[in-house]
Amino acid sequence: MHPDTTPQPAPTDAGLSAAQAETEARRIIDDVYRPTAYRDTTPLPARGDAPPVVQPGRAPMSQGATDASVLMLAGGTATAMVGGTAAVLMYVSQFADPIVCGLVFGAPTALVLALARLAQRARPAPEVHQHYTGTVHQDQRNVHTTTRGVWAKTNNRQ
């Protein structure tokens, strides 16, 4: 060990007893390791006088509206890329038939739409879990209702 870093015994000439010296040492250590940050725990007011400020980025909207806008942006970008590719192909070739280009570039779109519809129908129905406490009676009758005529007459049959 380096001679300057060896711990030196505390001087007892100051008139402190061992217990007082221990207490003073603990106070000094606590002062050194005291946190320097403070968290104000007083509750914030529920309503203030300042109006809300719109943050930079997307405008505030619901989650459904955000999802729909992202979907529309993605669809618009895909449409622009497909249309731009078809336009460049027709311009560069100077011979491309617009109907053939429409069929070639429209086929992937039709395929994607068909796959999306198939995936939507293949999705399983959500499970419904019902929990009851006590005696429960469930009535599961089907009622067929027919309403006809200018002056409506309703017939309910079980």
Tell me the per-residue pLDDT of 120-136, one tens digit each, with 9 for 90 and over.
777 777 788 888 888 88
- What is the SS3 assignment for 154? strand
Selected residue with higher pLDDT from 144 and 94: 94
Q: Which two tokens mark 95?
A: 């011979």
* pLDDT for position 90: 80
Rounded (10°) CA dihedral 91, 96, 102, 106: -90
Tell me the per-residue pLDDT of 60-104, one tens digit each, with 9 for 90 and over.
788 888 888 888 889 889 888 888 887 888 888 887 777 877 777
Side-chain half-sphere CA neighbours of 117 within 13 A: 5
* pLDDT for position 23: 92
Region of residue 32 (left: phi > 0; alpha: psi -120 to 50; beta: else): alpha
Tell me the per-residue pLDDT of 37-66, one tens digit each, with 9 for 90 and over.
778 888 877 777 777 777 787 777 888 888
Q: What percentage of the chain carries pLDDT values higher than 70?
A: 87
pLDDT greater than 60 at residue 107: yes
Q: Where are the domains of the chain?
A: 64-122
pLDDT greater than 70 at residue 8: no
Q: What whole-number distance in Å separates Cα of residue 83 and Cα of residue 101?
A: 10
Q: What whole-number distance in Å separates Cα of residue 130 and Cα of residue 128?
A: 6
pLDDT greater than 80 at residue 158: no
pLDDT greater than 60 at residue 156: yes
